[in-house]
A and B are shown apart, each in its own frame.
Chain A
Amino acid sequence: MQEQKRPKPAALVSLSDEEYEGVELLDPKAIEDAFAKGRDARRAVEAETPQPVISARVRFQ
């Protein structure tokens, strides 16, 4: 059976001029909060990265 193609999410599709004008802008604090959360996530990813522990006695040959 052929897989049904999923429609493009509505938020990505062009609106009429009227609909577009009606789109509410974000609260600037929500944008700053998202940036802060992103920076925190990035630092957490870097901090949690384990480092290699290969003995110097192991020779790759």
Chain B
Amino acid sequence: MSDHRGGYVRPMPYPQLGLQGILGKSRAVSYLNDYLGPLGPTVILHEWPYVDRHYLDEFANYYATSFAAPSPHCDRFHFFSGITEEALNGRFDRIYAESDAETRRKSEAELSANHYLGFVIKRPLPGATLGRSVLKTYPIEGRRNYAVLRPYRVNLAGLRLEVEGLAYQQQDGGAAVCASTALWSALQQVAHMAGHRTPTPYAITKAAGSPFPASHGLDYVQMASAIKTLGYIADQFVPGRNWPLFRAKLVSSLRSHLPVILFLLRTEDGGEPANAHAVTLTGYSECEQIVNVTASSRHAPLRMRAGSLKTIYVHDDNLGSHAHYELDDGADPKNSLMLVRGRSDKPQPAWLGEWLRDWRVECALVPKPSKLRMPVESLIGATAEISYALANACPGMDLDYHARFDSGVQYKSSLFDMGLDPAEFRTFQERLSLPRQIGVVSAYANEGTIHVYDALIDVTEIRAEPSLLAVVAPGIEARSQAQKLLEQICATAKCSRITAARTNA
């Protein structure tokens, strides 16, 4: 029988030379050093033993039957910034001595918000030590948009910390390869949105129904099938020859807090793919230009900032979490849309070099909660529809558009911050009944500086007509020309509307 009294939580200063001494040498650990550096880690807490549900499932179903089975237990390392080892010890002492539960919770929340950077689980797997890891992201600084994040509650020796992130882990090449690991990261978010427990990598591989060992990888259809078997639905789209539209669909998915799995290929001399890889997008850097996005060859293009997407943040199980990658049109427009591992404005770090740098973007797969039935292409279609339907309310204006899915409840909460007309606000909120999932088409004027309106669409019915549920117009003032015309249009469409207050009363 194992002895359960020998566990420990030990603080140590963050090693100046990096984490290789703790986690071993690998490309993923080098990336982790570079990622954590700017977050300013000062102290590590080493927790042992740690039982990780995700690793334990792999252990029980795969590693336990190996001739030289590894341990079922892991180590967990917690990172803190802006605090010394001594000060952190003092904080812990005070929390343990505190008898009032509310004061204790407040101290834990303060520690989480101001000092906790997240954790890395070390698996007893040589060559693939990085298990489930959740790390804080970099500051937004007006451009970074980590859209696919969720809160993680961290139980540490009776204390409760919290970090916002998205779980990442290195592929082990045995029980899970990139296909199931990319799905695993993506489903961390989708399961949370749906209120489900997150599936383990083993459960995902099993759900794919492949007759081959996990190390053979999964094909595209098996990955999509795993999403369905686990109780979700899949959406898909391809770059084809219309890269601005593909970019707009990526941003629409990410703005909806939906993770996107990108399928990447490298082909040698035009033959069969030499490498095939899957990664999970967690966010993007704000797009710089508004460009024309041709969504239909028979209609006017949509002006969309999302069409110029360049920088994306990626969970790559061969490298690390939230890695900065770039979409690149390449020199020859007849070629494919490319994904470049790394950044164009800086040389690659020496430990990475030019390793498998350029990939062809083949396809995007988006796991979604099952009620979100409308595909992203229909959301773009709805944007085109709204751009025509509401054009008469905004005469002579060159509007640009963003489109996303949202939850009805969350959207109604966000109305409080939009500066809408207080004379109508309460009645509007009380009367407006929204489904669990909605589509939001946002229109902006003056190059994105004025949020003119949001058109709310029913996305639970794919062919719902009319699909317009309401128009929320924070950029249209009451008693303006646009308000009068919008009112007439909404009356025809039998939908609710609200604008901003009158400014010249």
Contact = CB atoms under 8 A, between A and B. Distances in A.
Interface of A: 6, 8-17, 20, 23, 25-26, 28, 30-32, 34-35, 37-46, 48-54, 56-61
Contact of B481 (A23, A34, A41): A23
A42 B397 contact: no
- By size class, the interface of chain B is 35 or more
A23 B479 CA distance: 10
Given A44-B296, A46-B381, A56 B216 contact: no
B306 interface: no
Interface in B377-427: 377-378, 380-382, 384-392, 394-397
B492 A14 contact: no
Given A60-B182, A60-B218, 6 more contacts: A9-B450, A11-B481, A15-B504, A41-B387, A45-B380, A60-B179
24 contacts: A12-B476, A12-B482, A13-B477, A15-B480, A20-B480, A20-B481, A20-B484, A26-B392, A28-B492, A34-B391, A35-B492, A38-B386, A39-B465, A41-B299, A41-B384, A44-B381, A45-B384, A46-B378, A49-B377, A54-B219, A60-B220, A60-B276, A61-B178, A61-B215
Interface of B: 177-179, 182, 215-221, 223, 236-238, 240, 263, 265, 272-273, 276-278, 295-299, 362-363, 377-378, 380-382, 384-392, 394-397, 445-447, 449-450, 452, 465-466, 475-482, 484-485, 488-489, 492-493, 502-505
B386 A12 contact: no
A13 B480 contact: yes
Contacts of A45: 295-296, 299, 377-378, 380-381, 384
A6 B215 CA distance: 58
A54 B503 contact: no
Contact of B263 (A20, A54, A61): A54
B272 to A, nearest CB: 8
Contacts of B388: 34-35, 37-38, 41
A35 B377 contact: no
A58 B220 contact: yes
Contacts of B220: 52, 54, 56, 58, 60
Contacts of A53: 238
B177 A61 contact: yes
B385 A38 contact: yes
A34 B363 CA distance: 34
Contacts of B492: 28, 31-32, 35
A47 B504 CA distance: 46
Contacts of A38: 384-389
A11 B179 contact: no
A46 B377 contact: yes
B275 to A, nearest CB: 9
Contacts of A59: 179, 216-219, 276
Contact of A39 (B240, B385, B396): B385
A37 B387 CA distance: 10
The 4 closest A-B pairs by CB, nearest first: A61-B217, A38-B388, A45-B381, A38-B385
A44 B299 contact: yes
Nearest to B218: A60
B179 A61 contact: yes
A16 B378 contact: no
Given A12-B475, A41-B385, A45-B381, A25 B484 contact: yes
A59 to B, nearest CB: 4
Nearest to A21: B484
A26 B485 contact: yes
Contacts of B384: 38, 41-42, 44-45
Contacts of A56: 219-221
A52 B381 contact: no
* Residue from the set B238, B466, B479 with the largest chain A CB neighbour count within 10 Å: B479
Nearest to B223: A60
A61 B481 CA distance: 58
Contacts of A13: 477, 480, 503
Contact of A42 (B378, B479, B484, B493): B378
B362 A43 contact: no
A46 B380 CA distance: 9
Nearest to B364: A52
Nearest to B466: A35
A14 B449 contact: no
Contacts of A43: 381
